[in-house]
Every structure is written in structure tokens, then in C-alpha cells.
Amino acid sequence: MVAESRWVEAHGLRLHYLDWGGDGPPVLLLHGLQDCAGLWETLAEGIGGRYHVMALDHRGHGDSPWAGSYRLADYVAEAGAVIEALDLRDLVLVGHSAGSKNAFIHVAEHPERIARLVITDMDPDALNPGSVAMISRYKNESDEYPSLEAVIERLRSRQPGSSAGVLRSNAAALTKPAAGGAGLVWKRDRDVVTRYDRPDAWASLPRVSVPTLIVRGAESTLLTGPVARRMRDAIPDCRLVEIDGCGHWAHLEAPEAYERALVDFLEG
């Protein structure tokens, strides 16, 4: 199953998304900070026979245009505008990292089109030592790489459990040829890192009124076990799954276990 590149006018931008097609219920996938729609390929291919799977490139990421503002409120509004523009109903909304925060805040405010919500390894805190360390690294590293192999090594350092095939696919999805054709450059606006804000979002969780799954990588330093359990208890209808042998990028390090957790939640 090959995804089609499509575009949607939403929140003042012409945004890119991938569409794997399918006649089943719609699933919209939201990536995290610095990532892109293409990183959902393995999951999309795994569930594509049963669902109509789409993955958005948020503003400043992937093949979507850069923008003047990258605040959390922009991403939340953007997610809602895409759902409206595509007229998605009875939607399964799945996020990873910052995409999860965009998703659960949107659902708290506008649950009417949402059937189920999946939060992947994201906390609601304003200050988190794990995320501070991650964003500090993003700010200090180069956007340019001499080769695809160099990108693969960068990804291996953040998602060491990923297979060689997943790492290579992810590296290709996240980069494009640099100007002049020498090496590769990360496909995102550096300002998405320097301008992103992290307001406290705990107040949104009790207002999430749809069945919710939280997936945590058991080795994650961003979403700790105690915080994940507190989130589960704050959301009225929520279950928590912790996947062994992986960290923050659970859907890329343990794709089979992640898909199994998702399908069990949706169909169990």
C-alpha cells in the first residue's frame, strides 16, 4: 500500500499530508516535534486494510510550508482545521510526542468528531527534564548531514531499538538534498524548535470525553511511569500500555507491539 501526497487548506496554510486510502474508519496521525508524516509509514501499512489512514505534516515540518508562528495553540488549531476541512467524522486521532499534546487538547475542546484518542509518550507538564534535554540537543545540532548514513546514525542515537530498515526509511523521510546537492538537510524549519512553547496542559485531561489509550515506551525519559499513571487517572475513560524495550519513539522502536496495542484498543 503506497501513500498518496495530498494537500489541504487549513489554518491559513496549504498543508501536506499522506493518504494511504482505505474504506474503513478514518485515522489521522500527528507526528512530534522535528518529525514528519512519513515516519508513520510502518503503522499505516500495518492497519491500512482496516482503516482509512492519513498522516499530517504539521506547519514547518516535512513538505508543509514554513510559518511565522509555531506556538502550541497554532498546532492545536491546525489539527482542528484539518479535521474540519477533510470532514473527518468518528475519527481515531493518534499522536506521538508533541503531536499527542496537540491531539488531546483539541479533543478536550472539540470532541464531537472524535471516536477515540491515542496519546504516545507525551506529558502535559510545562517543564520536563527529559524534554528540556531533548530540545537543547535539537538547538545545538546541525541541520545538515554529509550522507544518508550520517542521518541514520543520528536517528539510531535517539531510537536505538529501531531496525536497520526503519532507520533508513525514517532518514529518507526526514531529509532532502541540500542546496547545491552536497549532502542532506533536515526537512523542517529550525524555528519550530526555538519558538515552540510548553504550557501546562493538565487541565485538558479531565475534559477528554472519548475513550483514550496512552502508550508509553518503558525506557522513555520524557514520559515517566508515575506521570503516565497520573494522566491515565485524570482522563475519565483511559487505559495505559507500557511497551518494553523501547523509549520515546515506541512506534518506531517496537512497531509490532505498538500496532498490537493500538488494534487491541480499537477492536478489543
Residue type, 76: V
Three-state DSSP at 125 gives coil
What predicted TM-score, i.e. pTM, was given to this entire model?
0.96
Domains assigned to the chain: 4-134+200-267 (3.40.50.1820)
State mean pLDDT over 35-50. Answer: 96
The pLDDT tens digits for 224-268 are 999 999 999 999 999 999 999 999 999 999 999 999 999 999 998
The pLDDT tens digits for 151-178 are 999 999 999 999 999 999 999 999 999 9
Laid out side by side, the sheet with 175-177 consists of 144-145, 184-186, 175-177
User: 124 φ, ψ to 5°?
Assistant: -95, 5
Residues near 171 by beta carbon (within 8 Å), at least 6 away in sequence: 148, 151, 152, 154, 155
State mean pLDDT over 53-78. Answer: 97
pLDDT over 90 at 53, yes or no: yes
**Nearest-angstrom CA–CA distance, 245 and 150:** 24
